[in-house]
Amino acid sequence: MKHCRIILLLCLFLAACTESESGRFAPPSFVSVESEQIGDAIVLRCTLSDGRVERCGFRYGAGGQLDRAVECVIDGTSFEARLTGLADGVDYSYRSYAAAGDAEIQSDVFRFRLEIPVPEPEEPSSPYPPDDEIWYTTISGTILGLDSKICVNLNMVSNTYADGKGVMKFNGPVANFKEWAIYKKNDLTELILPSSVKVTSYSCFREDQQLQKVVFAPGLVILGDSSLHHNEALEEVILPDTVTSIEKDALSHAYSLRHIDLPPNLEKLGRSAFLYCKTLESIVLPATLKSIGIYCFEHDKALTSITCLATEPPTGSTEMFDDTSECPIYVPAASAEAYRSAPYWNKYAHRIREIEE
């Protein structure tokens, strides 16, 4: 009997919640209906003036159709739905509803559009270090042991090695190296220098016997005297277009250097600059070149061709092309006779050929 009484009271309470004085559903009003894009989903929200309803949710669809429905659970006077799998850039219509029994109320029709932002293209990481760093690699995969004062008026503040790369960091832009700064460091395999380096000092990267690659960022102007002298394993040197001078012995005795692109603004090749680069296969001297030093390419026995693009023969020197296997020397056709008769070039007149147009 007690249970029956409780059930009866509960039924009366529910009836009071869902019926008006005339016995029908007493509809609440819509306080707010809204949509919000969160990531690649749309969240629909609705707030009622009275949460005493039996069912609630949203109907939605594309192209003005409300052919999809999602039923929600009311929380107090509010309910929401998260819609996924929607088409990007398509207009959708939606409305909310609330019901009790056969009676239902519906909101006005609203619209939303999913607009997934196109991600901004990532800035490509620079192949060069910032001005206060030098990057390198080693055979051992550990830090290169160096004095903290390899640069003039600077201190190295850290030297770390992780993920296959070493990073030396300084307390200012790297500009001037001390002479013999990185000398006979036989664990070193690659160096990448920042754009703040304009001139390399005497013998600064000399006789690093396992050094295979050196990259200079745009900004270098002068590859200094003996800078990369006698690095027997050196295979690749990347020089920027800003270089105008390669000084005495700068790349001499680079026994493993098969190829190098000389900068298009190069004006000077110093004495013995490429002496004993005995695997160098060919060389193209740019049109801007003004002078070639004594012994510049002597003993480069693997050379198969030398090409000089300058319309005026650069100032030559003794033995600049001696012991280069008598390889042909190609020059602009209109300048061939000038080359054959120019001082120091005339020694190689029998090797001078015209560049074919």
Residue 68 maps to which CATH number? Answer: 2.60.40.10
pTM: 0.69
Contacts 24+ apart (CB under 8 A), 248-251: 248/272, 248/273, 248/293, 249/225, 249/273, 249/275, 250/200, 250/223, 250/224, 250/225, 250/226, 251/223, 251/227, 251/277
Domain presence at residue 156: no
**Structure letter (DSSP) for residue 341:** H
Domain presence at residue 40: yes
Domain presence at residue 84: yes
pLDDT of residue 120: 83
* Amino acid identity at 261: D
pLDDT of residue 24: 57
* Contact (Cβ atoms closer than 8 angstroms) between residue 328 and residue 306: yes
Domain presence at residue 99: yes
What range defines the domain where residue 104 resides?
26-113
pLDDT of residue 356: 86
Domain presence at residue 108: yes
pLDDT of residue 112: 96
Domain presence at residue 31: yes
Rounded mean pLDDT for each run of 10 residues along the chain, 357 residues in total: 36 40 69 95 96 94 94 96 95 95 93 90 88 97 94 96 96 96 96 97 96 98 97 97 98 98 98 98 98 98 98 97 97 97 97 92
Burial readout 179-212 (b: 16 or more C-beta within 10 A, e: otherwise): ebbbeebebbbbbbbbbbbebbbbbbbbbbebbb
Domain presence at residue 45: yes
Domain presence at residue 233: no
pLDDT of residue 11: 37
Total domain count, the chain: 1
pLDDT of residue 16: 42
* Contact (Cβ atoms closer than 8 angstroms) between residue 233 and residue 256: yes
